[in-house]
Amino acid sequence: MGDGPPSIWEWIARNWDTGRVDSIRNLLTDHLTMSLVPILLSLVVALPLGLACVRWRWLYQPTSGLMNIVYAIPSLPIFMLLISVTGLSQTTVIIPLTFYGMAVLIPAVVDGLGSVPDHVRQSAVAMGFTPLRRLLAVELPIAVPVVLAGLRVVAVSSISLVSVGALIGQGGLGSLFTRAYQNPFMPPVIVGIVLIVALALVADGLLVLAQRLLTPWVRARKGRA
């Protein structure tokens, strides 16, 4: 161990848990918070909005149009706009990511409910389901595969997009990249990329697992084909 630059493992060991805000461990926790909250929040908001768009068809065009515009606005100006309200906080990152998630999930909920075959809906009506029970016991469960497919996209993109927050000092693992920009030293960049990709893969894997557990009937269908 001379005076040369430390190896990547040495760098990780030295920076893992320094007790400072920018220890890898703290960055990882921040990153998780700032990606998981928008994922959950966008799902919670997109469900009722999606349902409303199905119930009142005329709502869907304006809603999806608006969501696409939100999706098109680059995150940086949104951050700048929000800083005046929420400051340089995690909330400033969480809010736009939630909107991005909604832009994907509202159509997913609408398409998911649209994937319920008409004869299935008709037979539920004919057997005496009340509208609420039909929604909860028949339509939503059948919409699950389509919604989960949307949720997978949202999970991976949110985890990756959090790093942009580094520009306002709230990027989680993304701040490892800005640090390298100031000082050309590669280990933080590699650690940042590896951890973000690993997080995305774990999240995606969990969702695939959830899909298998929640919708065994989809696997059964593929098994026959």
Partner 1 sequence: MITFDAVTKRYPDGTVAVDGLSLEAPTGEITVFVGPSGCGKTTSLRMINRMIDATEGQILLDGVPVQGIDPPTLRRGIGYVIQQAGLFPHRRIVDNVATVPYLLGWDRRKARARAMELLERVGLDSALARRYPFQLSGGQQQRVGVARALAADPPVLLMDEPFSAVDPVVRTSLQDELLRLQAELNKTIVFVTHDIDEAIKLGDRVAVLRVGGRLAQLADPKTLLSDPADDFVREFLGRDRGIRRLQFVSTAGLRLRTDLTVEEGFGGGTAEPWALVVSADGAPVGWVADARPDVLEPFGTFVHGRDSMRSALDAALLSPSGCAVGVDENGKVVGVATREALDEALAEAADG
Positions touching partner 1 (CB under 8 A) are 117, 119-120, 122-130, 133, 138, 141-142, 144, 215-217, 220-221, 223-224
Nearest to 24 by CA among 189, 224, 173: 173
We find the least distance from the C-beta atom of residue 151 to partner 1, in angstroms, to be: 18
We find the least distance from the C-beta atom of residue 121 to partner 1, in angstroms, to be: 8
Query: What is d(CA 93, CA 132) in angstroms, rounded to the nearest whole number?
Result: 36
Would you mind telling me the total number of residues written for the chain in this entry? Answer: 225
Which C-beta is closer to partner 1: that of 72 or that of 220?
220
We find the least distance from the C-beta atom of residue 66 to partner 1, in angstroms, to be: 32
- Angle (deg, nearest 10), helices 60-72 and 24-55: 160
Strands, E, within the chain: which ranges?
Answer: none
Which C-beta is closer to partner 1: that of 1 or that of 127?
127
We find the least distance from the C-beta atom of residue 132 to partner 1, in angstroms, to be: 11
Which C-beta is closer to partner 1: that of 72 or that of 126?
126
Which C-beta is closer to partner 1: that of 205 or that of 216?
216
Q: CB under 8 Å to 182, separation ≥6 — which residues?
A: none
- Angle (deg, nearest 10), helices 175-182 and 186-214: 160
